[in-house]
């Protein structure tokens, strides 16, 4: 009986997650094409730079910028998030990546957001490229910028490996975190 209740609870959670994902615009399971990802990345960066002079300034000194323009997060006790993005070096896309995270605990809701990681050192860029699935929080130092920190940051005070900016939050779910997200290289759909 206990096993049956667990299965029913799991099915209910899956149905709720499917409903939540569809409510915020997730309707297809296949990977985006390189063209689709590039277009979303360009729009996301333009929007980020318009709202954050610090991000624009960091982009001038960054060795690379990893951008996930649309990450979807949903959960009901068990949660997950997923997004696809691109690594830009020297103004050009050099690789494509996805970001995936799972969580368990007191949570309910769904949201979408984007984030950009400014890789400020050659070492952080090399770490991303050589890792076979980088877990954020292990490896290079990542500083998540909030609005107040961004106002005081300049390229002369930027001393950490990676600076992350979260933008475009939509939906109903408390908090956005990058810790524990796994970032892996992908080959975009055709």
CA 173 to CA 89: how far, in whole Å?
33
* Closest to 84 in 3D by CA, of 125, 52, 41: 41
The DSSP 8-state label assigned to residue 141 in this structure reads -
* Rounded Cα–Cα distance for residues 178 and 176 (Å): 7
pLDDT tens readout for residues 82-140? 999 999 999 999 999 999 988 777 667 888 999 999 999 999 999 999 988 888 777 67
Output the pLDDT for position 175: 53
Locate tokens 């996805």: which residue? 98
Q: What is the mean pLDDT of residues 144-158?
A: 54
127-140 pLDDT tens trace? 999 988 888 777 67
Nearest to 185 by CA among 37, 63, 42, 85: 85
* Alpha carbon distances (Å) from 145 to 64, 117, 121, 142: 17, 10, 17, 9
Give the H/E segment covering residue 151.
Answer: helix 147-152
Instruction: Work out the average pLDDT over 161-172.
Output: 87
């Amino acid at each position: 009986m206990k096993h049956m209740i667990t299965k029913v609870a799991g099915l209910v959670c899956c149905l709720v997650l499917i409903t939540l994902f569809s409510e915020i615009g997730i309707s297809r399971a296949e990977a985006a094409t390189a063209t689709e990802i590039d277009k979303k990345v360009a729009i996301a960066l333009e929007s980020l730079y318009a709202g954050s002079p610090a991000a624009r300034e960091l982009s001038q000194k960054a060795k690379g910028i990893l951008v996930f323009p649309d990450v979807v997060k949903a959960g009901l006790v068990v949660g997950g998030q997923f997004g696809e993005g691109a690594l830009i070096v020297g103004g050009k896309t050099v690789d494509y990546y996805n970001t995936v995270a799972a969580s368990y605990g007191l949570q309910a809701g769904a949201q979408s957001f984007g984030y950009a990681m400014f890789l400020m050192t050659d070492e952080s860029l090399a770490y991303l490229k050589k890792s076979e699935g980088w877990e954020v929080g292990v490896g290079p130092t990542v500083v998540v910028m909030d609005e107040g920190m961004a106002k005081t940051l300049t390229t002369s005070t930027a001393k950490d490996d990676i600076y992350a900016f979260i933008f475009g939050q939509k939906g109903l779910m408390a908090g956005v975190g990058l810790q524990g997200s796994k970032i892996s290289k992908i080959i975009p759909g055709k």
